[in-house]
Amino acid sequence: MISPKIEGFLWEQEETFLTPADKLAVIIDSHNIDHAKLLLSHMTFSRVPVVTVDNCFVGTIGLNEINQYQMDNELSDQELNQDISLICKRDVATLKGDYELADVLRKLIDEPFLPVLGEKDEFQGIITRKSILKAVNSLFHNFDIVEKKK
Amino acid sequence: MISPKIEGFLWEQEETFLTPADKLAVIIDSHNIDHAKLLLSHMTFSRVPVVTVDNCFVGTIGLNEINQYQMDNELSDQELNQDISLICKRDVATLKGDYELADVLRKLIDEPFLPVLGEKDEFQGIITRKSILKAVNSLFHNFDIVEKKK
């Protein structure tokens, strides 16, 4: 259990820590793997969400999967003309729109970012370790801590 | 300023959030780029520290730099037989052994992990966003917050 006061402060920062889908680089599942490789190699991060053309969440794709696939099958960049959906990672932790903060904090220990999905898996945005750390940093500079009441 | 009580709690977790060098995958700067590519493609993370054979910190290497270098120069994997030091990222934020926690929290907003270095740049270990979030999570479950005294 996280105290209501901590939750309250963090919720006030939701606008900062939830990055909406329209401000994110995403990749369409039917695009080619070489497209994803080019995009990811020129970004500062190395994994992005994969969605359908109708904005349904499919999974995530990282340079790890792409390079592994290419090396294991001895493919040139020109031969990476297959759908990203073939190799993208599907067993990723996600959040529903009505997520709880304790859940966010727990799941972010294992994942660098969490996709937030609507009722029908519509991709709404992501919450990253980076953005939560920003909110935590702000909390630490503005509050002190006391033992929890039992 | 972070309150002494928050700092105190976090310091108690140092053993958990500082991963010592001997428990980490690192890459030697004089090894070949293809070695780094193979290693990184089969890991779950995509960037690791680069050190000299004498354990001096040089920088970090990620799949982004390797793929970019390979694509820009149209090189096959066999042609990646050059030193990692040629392309590794050197302008990375680091911490000295006597680091302050406020510094750690601030720098981790921009970097997924921070190398901790000794007086002569000896590589001692890293602090990651993941490990700090673990400590924060524990703090949030054990304490409540109050307004800071002015």
Average pLDDT of chain B to the nearest whole number: 94
**DSSP secondary structure letter of residue A99:** -
- For residue B127 the two structure tokens come to 């602090």
pTM for the full model?
Answer: 0.92
Per-residue confidence (pLDDT) for residue A24, from 0 to 100 = 94
Name which of B1-10, B53-62, B86-95 the model is least confident about. B1-10
Q: Do B140 and A2 touch (CB under 8 A)?
A: yes
Distances (CA, A) of B93 to A69, A109, B54, B110, B113: 32, 22, 21, 9, 9
Cβ proximity of B144 and B26 under 8 Å? no
Q: Does A36 touch chain B (CB under 8 A)?
A: no
Which residues are CB-contacts of A118 (< 8 A; sequence separation ≥ 6)? A96, A97, A124
Average pLDDT over residues B22-47: 92
Q: Using CA atoms, how far apart are residues A23 and A20, in angstroms rounded to an integer?
A: 6
Per-residue confidence (pLDDT) for residue B150, from 0 to 100 = 66
The ipTM (two decimal places) reads 0.89
Distance from CA of B95 to the nearest CA of A (A): 18
Q: Using CA atoms, how far apart are residues B1 and B7, in angstroms rounded to an integer?
A: 10
Q: Using CA atoms, how far apart are residues A52 and A62, in angstroms rounded to an integer?
A: 17
B141: confidence class by pLDDT, cuts 50, 70, 90 = very high
Burial of B53 (0-12, 13-18, 19+ CB in 10 A): exposed
Q: Does A147 touch chain B (CB under 8 A)?
A: yes
Per-residue confidence (pLDDT) for residue A150, from 0 to 100 = 66
Catalogue the E-assigned strands of chain B: 18-20, 27-28, 47-51, 57-62, 95-96, 113-117, 123-128, 143-147
Average pLDDT over residues B2-9: 93
Q: Do B43 and A63 touch (CB under 8 A)?
A: no
* Element of type H or E holding B14: helix B14-17
- The CATH architecture assigned to B4-142 reads Roll (3.10)
pLDDT along chain A (150 residues), means of 10: 92 92 95 94 89 98 94 93 96 95 95 96 97 95 88
Average pLDDT over residues B23-38: 95
Q: Do A145 and B149 touch (CB under 8 A)?
A: no
Which residues are CB-contacts of B150 (< 8 A; sequence separation ≥ 6)? none
Distance from CA of B117 to the nearest CA of A (A): 23
Distances (CA, A) of A128 to A83, A109, B57: 26, 10, 28
Q: Does B106 touch chain A (CB under 8 A)?
A: yes
Nearest-CA residue of chain B relative to A67?
B41
Distance from CA of A87 to the nearest CA of B (A): 14
Q: Per-residue pLDDT for B43 more than 90?
A: no
Instruction: Indicate the pairing of strand A57-62 with strand A113-117.
Output: unpaired
| Amino acid found at B120 | K
Q: Do A143 and B3 touch (CB under 8 A)?
A: yes
Crossing angle of helices B33-41 and B63-72, rounded to 10°: 130
